[in-house]
Amino acid sequence: MTEGADVTEIHHSSHVRITRCSGCIARRRFSLHRAHLFTPRCPHDPSRALSGQARGMGALEIHLARHWGVIRARDLRSLGVGPRELRRLIDAGTLMRCARGVYAAPSAERDVVHAARRFTTLTCLSACHAHGLWVWHQPFPPHVLRADGPPIRGAVVHRGVRDPHEQVAGVLDALVTAFRCAPPREAIVAAESAVVQHRITVDDLVAAFPGQRDRRIRASISRIRATGQSLPETLARLALEDAGLTMRPQVFIEGVGHVDGMVDGLVCEIDGRAFHSGPVEFEEDRRRWNALMELGIPTVRIPARWVLADPDAAVVTVRRVLARRGG
């Protein structure tokens, strides 16, 4: 392991322990280093150096951590888990039977289990949500990938080649599907979070859409900014751009710090309770507000909840203030 890496142990149940480094801590439950399964793994991944034995973690727990909490009967047999041991694991609550030959840990994502039951791969925005990317509206029913076969009740099926060992499509593959399937804003915010988290680059996305018919998708990709800080902030910026207004994101103002954005000299702050509820954050908010007033810079503060309910709320608020200023 890299010297000095900050490692956190997360206990999901009495039977499963997952170790994550601070650089990967944002990933959800069984998505531990999942994006690195078919690509170079995180350098802090303990399993790189342990070759099947993970400091107290058995082979089953390692498999579950790498495969989103899902395991098939053939993989159980390869791990030496026979029928009697499997029954013990089910009775103990370590595993549950999802379908014939398919088992999952109780902590596995609902949509991942849903896809595994039908021998499909979670994809599109459903996979983006599993990867912990910003997803404005989690798809329901979930979107899955399969090569052929009849429609699946309770799922939106995308046709394509899938890796039978892959429970959830990789970040790039999921986003490529999302740009072809989902509304532009939905795809852009998910992709922007992937860029911000250094999971992919904008160039990766552009290279995935080389055709003439992909012009509109490339135009959407060009709206991605590596400075985005949150889903509501990106949604507000996209809504303002769609309304013909230009929001410069993450502008630094001397004496104030970075603000979420500026539109024609007007500071726009998207306030979320998660970032402003503590006493330290409250005091810092008031300091910044006072500094902006002293500098004579007009400011609007738009609740994140408004933006998530309707991003055009940001447009209405900004236009009203600009109209009063003669902007």
Nearest to 99 by CA among 174, 152, 171: 152
State the residue for tokens 């203030």. Answer: 321
**In b/e form, how buried is each residue of 110-119, taking b as 16+ CB within 10 angstroms?**
ebbbbbbbbb
Closest by Cα among 303, 254, 256, 261 to 284: 256
| 177 vs 139: CA distance, rounded Å | 13
Tokens found for residue 87: 């029954």
- Residue 100 DSSP label: T
CB 123 within 8 A of CB 112: no
Q: How far apart are CA 115 and CA 117, in angstroms?
A: 5
Q: Domain ranges in the chain?
A: 1-108, 110-226, 231-325
Residue partners of 282: CB distance under 8 A and separation at least 6: 276
For the stretch 220-257, pLDDT in tens is: 999 999 998 899 999 999 999 999 998 999 899 998 88
In angstroms, what CA-CA distances link 112 with 71, 77, 133, 175?
Answer: 11, 22, 15, 17
Task: Read off the tokens for 106.
Answer: 């109780």
- The string of pLDDT tens digits covering residues 104-133 is 999 999 999 999 989 999 999 999 999 999
Contact between 60 and 80 (Cβ < 8 Å): no
Task: Report the predicted TM-score, pTM, of the whole model to 2 decimal places.
Answer: 0.76
Determine the 3-state secondary structure of 141 from DSSP: coil
In CATH, what number does 231-325 get? 3.40.960.10
pLDDT tens string 181-214: 999 999 999 999 999 999 999 999 999 999 999 9
Q: What is the mean pLDDT of residues 50-70?
A: 70
Which residues, other chains included, contact 194 with Cβ-Cβ below 8 Å and sequence gap of 6+?
Answer: 128, 131, 133, 171, 175, 200
Can you tell me the mean pLDDT for 290-313?
Answer: 91
Quick: pLDDT tens for 61-110: 999 998 999 999 999 999 989 999 999 999 999 999 998 999 999 999 99
Residue 248 β-bridge partners: 262
Q: What is the pLDDT of residue 258?
A: 87
Tokens of 207: 């290279």
3-state SS assignment for residue 91: helix
Identify the CA nearest to 156 among candidates 119, 129, 191, 181: 181
